[in-house]
Amino acid sequence: MPDTDTCLRQLAALKNLGDQAALAALKAHRSDKSEAVRAQVNAAIKSLEEERITGPKPKVLIKIGIMKNGSGVKSKKIESELADSSRRKLSELPGVRVLAADGSGPSTDTSSGKPSAVPMVMVTGNVSELKASREGGSITYSASVEYVLHTMPEQAIAAKVSGRASATATEQESGDASALAELRRSVLQAAIASAVRRTPPALLAAARL
């Protein structure tokens, strides 16, 4: 069972990112024995229910930085896959808006014309591992992806997260070049998804929320 401090941090993250999917879980903790937790729960519920009526607003803007292939596998496609998939997966996170590839985005509040108060975080990435190992008649692909989150505009490193995935081809697939290429791609995609799932707390830290 998480301690009170851990509960408070998790509740604050849910509130700050505007995760509507968390409402049911929050309501189930309205009667928590800790007064501090109950207060956080009620504040988070109120904030999320208000946002459901007014419409979601981004809590963090993400600028996609340099994406590298440090795996040793010589393929320019790996960097583009990392960039494209990272952009897509990060944009699916609650409370996040990923800026366009040219870095453009809502630097001002369109309703008032004033500078936007939404903090920006730059995310750079690296495929640190993408390899195949053979055991008997089967081949196993493994991939590791690392993200570095930078505060903006100073670009100081605020946090690092990583993700990993692996999958094994059947003996039949091991003799099919196209099947192996698809397996390698899917393993890389799974490693990216794994890293993105670990990103929200780091995003809050980098955005100083």
- pLDDT surpasses 70 at 14: no
The CB density around residue 46, as the number of other CB atoms within 10 Å, is: 11
CA distance 135 to 77: 27
Question: What are the chain's domains?
Answer: 4-54 (no CATH), 60-206 (3.40.50.10610)
The top-scoring range by mean pLDDT among 46-55, 64-73, 109-118, 167-176 is: 64-73
Q: Give the residue, 1 or 201, on which the prediction is more confident.
A: 201
Helix (H) or strand (E) holding 203: helix 199-206
Has residue 6 got a pLDDT over 70? no
What are the structure tokens assigned to 193, written together? 């998804």
pLDDT of amino acid 113: 44
- Residue range 182-194, pLDDT digits in tens: 999 999 999 999 9
Strand order in the sheet with 96-98: 96-98, 60-69, 120-135, 138-151, 157-169
Q: Residue 81: pLDDT above 90?
A: yes
44 vs 169, more confident = 169
What is the value of pTM for the model shown?
A: 0.69
For residue 30, the Cα-to-chain-centroid distance in whole angstroms is 28
Buried b (16+ CB within 10 A) or exposed e, 121-131: bbbbbbbbbbe
Cis ω before 153 (30° cut-off from 0): yes
Mean per-residue pLDDT of the chain? 82
Report pLDDT digits (tens) over 134-149. 887 788 999 999 999 9
Question: Running DSSP on this structure, what letter comes out for residue 86?
Answer: H
Instruction: Report the share of the chain in percent with pLDDT over 70.
Output: 78
